Structure 1
């Protein structure tokens, strides 16, 4: 099963990094170049294990995903409930760990997926690795910028570093 991953060291603590990763609405759209629309489903007020999320990507594709883990400030995991026809399965996880430099965090984002139809999988998986790899790198770069953006930090209750 193909896996794509991106890592960044951000100048905030793991709890702040985690909070930035879970922002929604205008704050999320400020830093996340992948998401064009995203909201929680079923009347959920906040993310938690079992909560479903609707996402529309910058490509116009939509997905309903479900949190399979939600453990602030260390990790969050999701899997696709419904999404683009070419994914047989899709999952992802984000991890946040203290970096060697105090006050910094190593953020690791990982996706795994399986394409369909099986006959095209050898080619489709390569395309998926390329496309999702590009998107996850752009996304974590946006996340790193968000972790330094005064408006994003204020939204999660943390002032920007002087």
Structure 2
């Protein structure tokens, strides 16, 4: 199964880096230009294992995904429940780890996928690696900008437990 991955070091601690990654509309749209619209389904209001979300990309494709793991501040994983016809499988995971420089975080985002139909898979997956690789790099660059945006950081900080949240 093909995998695409992007990594960036951001100038915030892992707890805040994770919180930025989980911001919701309208704050999320400040940094995540891939998403045109996103919201929780099934009356959920916060992310957690088993929670489903609807996402429409700026390219017009829609996907319903489900959190398969949610472990602040280290990692989160999602899988496609329903999505574009050409994906047989699509999943993503984000990991956050302290960087060597204190107060910084290494953020790694990874997608894995399988295309259909099977007879077209070899070509479709090469195209998918190129296209999704480009999108994940753009998306993580936007995330890095979000980790330096005072509005995004303020909103993400409010979701943290303790005195800062």
Assess same fold via TM > 0.5.
yes
Write the distance in 2 (CA, Å) between the matches of 1:132 and 1:146. Answer: 20
Write the distance in 1 (CA, Å) between the matches of 2:134 and 2:14. Answer: 24
Write the distance in 1 (CA, Å) between the matches of 2:76 and 2:105. Answer: 15
Shift of 1:45: 1.2
Shift of 1:157: 2.2
Write the distance in 1 (CA, Å) between the matches of 2:154 and 2:71. Answer: 22
Aligned residues of 2:90 and 2:114 also touching (Cα < 8 A): yes
Task: Spell out the pairing of 1:103-118 with structure 2 (5 A cutoff).
Answer: 103-118=103-118
| Matched residue, 1:84 | 84
Segments ≥4 residues shifted beyond 6 Å: none
SS for the counterpart of 1:81 is strand
| Matched residue, 2:154 | 154
SS for the counterpart of 1:100 is coil
Shift of 1:131: 0.6
| Matched residue, 1:64 | 64
Aligned residues of 2:19 and 2:157 also touching (Cα < 8 A): no
Q: Which runs of 5+ in 1 are unaligned?
A: none
TM-score by length of 1: 0.96
Deviations along 1:23-74, one digit per CA (max 9) or x if unpaired, are: 0101000000110100000000100000000000011000000000000000
Write the distance in 1 (CA, Å) between the matches of 2:81 and 2:73. Answer: 24
Shift of 1:4: 0.1
Write the distance in 2 (CA, Å) between the matches of 1:13 and 1:127. Answer: 35
Q: Which runs of 5+ in 2 are unaligned?
A: 159-165
TM-score by length of 2: 0.95
SS for the counterpart of 1:156 is helix
Task: Spell out the pairing of 1:130-141 with structure 2 (5 A cutoff).
Answer: 130-141=130-141
SS for the counterpart of 2:16 is helix
Q: In the alignment, is residue 19 of structure 1 matched against residue 1 of structure 2? A: no
Write the distance in 2 (CA, Å) between the matches of 1:115 and 1:68. Answer: 21
Aligned residues of 2:77 and 2:93 also touching (Cα < 8 A): yes
The count of residues paired between Structure 1 and Structure 2 equals 158
Alpha-carbon RMSD: 0.7
SS for the counterpart of 1:114 is strand
